[in-house]
Amino acid sequence: MNKDRKLIIAGNWKMNKTVAEALDLSRALKLELAGVKEVDMVVCPPFTALADVSKAILDSNIRLGAQNMSEHIMGAFTGEIAAGMLKEFSVRYVILGHSERRQYQKESDALVATKALAAHGASLKPIVCVGEMLAERESGQTEKVLERQVTGSLAGLSKEQMGETIIAYEPVWAIGTGKTATTAQAQDAHAFIRGLLSRMFDDTVARRVRIQYGGSVKPSNARELMSQPDVDGALVGGASLEPRSFGDIIKNSI
Ligand code: 13P
């Protein structure tokens, strides 16, 4: 597949995998994906496995991501993890504003924007998640919701920072449900988001930003989704927990 933007496919392991299991998965992926150069590949284990996974993939083509971070640099924030602490484990990417955090931890667009700035401050590339809920789609509000989330969650970023930011479009109704957005639904939402970026920043930035699709991505639907002009990768949940399925998603996307 020939695109200007290099595909980026990331596995969000969510709250799964002990250290031993995370190491097994990392080692298997390293073998499975050894020859792949065409796609940027990222794994996002839970915090507790970052140190060991980091060592396991050190000499590989797989990069490390975290699933969240604090908006603060350091200090009295019990239970939080700062960007600088992630850097100690060679973390390069950080998922921000995942719908599960928006839903369960009540993360707002403003908080996500503050976190995105903090991530850039530490030279981490944020993967900023947006996406509508089923009721919002059914009532015709998808674009309104995306506009609010995109403008709010990326507020304050410079053009340069935006160019190094990844957006993940994850319709909430497609996450963990087995119900994937159709290629047309994904392409429409991605093109809409790119249009917003062009208005918020400029055309050059909009053309540069990679927009991932997330929500029940599997080996069987990866190729069709990635073939859409504005779909530049995937953020994979369930299917990233097994080396074969994650490996096949990547191979089928090339
Ligand atoms: P699933 O791939 O399990 O639907 O999860 C998607 C997701 O939330 C990735 O961040």
> Closest residue (by CA) to atom 7 of ligand 1?
237
pLDDT at 152 over 90: yes
pLDDT at 2 over 70: no
- Residues carrying an active site annotation: 98, 170
Distance in angstroms (rounded) separating the CA atoms of residues 51 and 54: 5
Q: Ligand 1 centroid to 203 CA: how many Å?
A: 29
pLDDT recorded at residue 179: 85
- Alpha carbon 59 to chain centroid, angstroms: 22
* Closest atom, ligand 1, to C-alpha of 14: 10
Q: Ligand 1 centroid to 211 CA: how many Å?
A: 15
pTM score > 0.85 for this model? yes
Q: Compute and round to an integer the Cα radius of gyration of the chain.
A: 17
| Exposed e or buried b per residue across 136-173, where buried means at least 16 C-beta atoms within 10 angstroms of its C-beta | bbeeeebbebbbebbebbbeebeeebbbbbbbbbbbbb
Q: What percent of the chain has pLDDT over 90?
A: 96
160-211 residue pLDDT tens: 999 999 999 999 999 999 888 899 999 999 999 999 999 999 999 999 999 9
Among 132, 175, 221, the mutation site with the greatest number of ligand 1 atoms within 8 A of its Cβ is: 175
Report CA torsion sign: 9, 200, 82, 70. Answer: negative
Q: Ligand 1 centroid to 216 CA: how many Å?
A: 6
Q: Which residues line ligand 1 (CB under 6 A)?
A: 12, 98, 170, 175-176, 214-217, 235-239
Among 8, 235, 248, the mutation site with the greatest number of ligand 1 atoms within 8 A of its Cβ is: 235
Bridge partners (DSSP) of residue 95 are 127
50-67 residue pLDDT tens: 999 999 999 999 999 999
Distance in angstroms (rounded) separating the CA atoms of residues 148 and 143: 9
197-253 residue pLDDT tens: 999 999 999 999 999 999 999 999 999 999 999 999 999 999 999 999 999 999 999
Q: Ligand 1 centroid to 75 CA: how many Å?
A: 32
* Closest atom, ligand 1, to C-alpha of 218: 2
pLDDT recorded at residue 3: 74
In this predicted model, which residue has the larger pLDDT, 228 or 2?
228
* Closest atom, ligand 1, to C-alpha of 240: 2
Among 216, 240, 245, 250, the mutation site with the greatest number of ligand 1 atoms within 8 A of its Cβ is: 216
Q: Ligand 1 centroid to 59 CA: how many Å?
A: 27
